[in-house]
Amino acid sequence: MAVPNNPFLIVNPKSYLYGTESLALAKAADRTAAETGLQIYFTCPYTDIRMIREQTKHIIVCAQSMDSLTPGRGMGRILGESLKAAGAEAVFLNHAENPKTLSELNASILRAKELGLITIVCADSVTEAKAVACMDPDIVLAEPTSLIGTGTTADDSYITETVDALHAINPNVLVMIASGISTADDCYNVIRLGADGTGATSGILNAPSPADRIREMADAICRARARRLSA
């Protein structure tokens, strides 16, 4: 069973890539994970999970969401057991593009934990992030929705204050800052300021070479980790 580590990078193509294109980028991320030793998550459409898991070794394959149901009725909903059987080791929950009610979110986190799936839970404000941290997910992605896809990152004070606030509530939760992340320098800065991980969508997919951008981001995160350890 995969265990979340600090620091980490999440490569999140959403539904811009699928099939062979999704697999090609996953393989590039897999090579970077092997060469750097950094924990890298790769999200993909549900139908690509098994294909990517069977053709990679080092990335953590991440489903884009799941529901709290158990085997049985639930037509059209996402069953956690089916995700795990396909090879998923982690799951995103409550993304701004697919939000959940608080009750369903809490139930989904509990189901994912029962199945040994790493939970990455999104929150669009510090207040919501604090509430999410009380649900004891593995990772809280604290990202102002207004910054998603803009290329503009949260300011330094938001990063440090958010990390401190969430760790004060739940010292076991890992804090991810990712809104607007588009360059290796952005990755370096958020890890330097205390975040446990980061990730990107457009910052990777819009790069001249998405595979090279993943490697640049991974290298930057590793440098920031080394700086923090030596401080």
143 catalytic per annotation? yes
Instruction: Judge if pTM exceeds 0.85.
Output: yes
Q: What is the pLDDT of residue 145?
A: 61
Residue 58 appears among annotated catalytic residues: no
Among candidate residues 95, 97, 104, 128, the one labeled active-site is 95
Phi first, then psi: give them for residue 144, nearest 5 degrees: -60, 125
> Residues 90, 104, 178, CA angle at the centre, nearest 5°?
45
Number of other residues whose CB lies within 10 A of the CB of residue 219: 17
Two tokens, residue 16: 């811009």
Closest CA to 40 of 129, 98, 118: 118
CATH topology of domain 8-69+77-230: TIM Barrel (3.20.20)
The pLDDT value recorded for residue 178 is 87
Domain ranges of the chain: 8-69+77-230
Could you tell me the mean pLDDT of each successive run of 10 residues in the chain, 231 residues long?
89 97 98 98 98 98 97 95 98 93 96 98 90 96 64 73 93 91 94 95 96 98 90 69
What per-residue confidence (pLDDT) applies to 154?
A: 62
What is the reported pLDDT for 133? 96
From 54, 114, 143, 216, the catalytic residue:
143
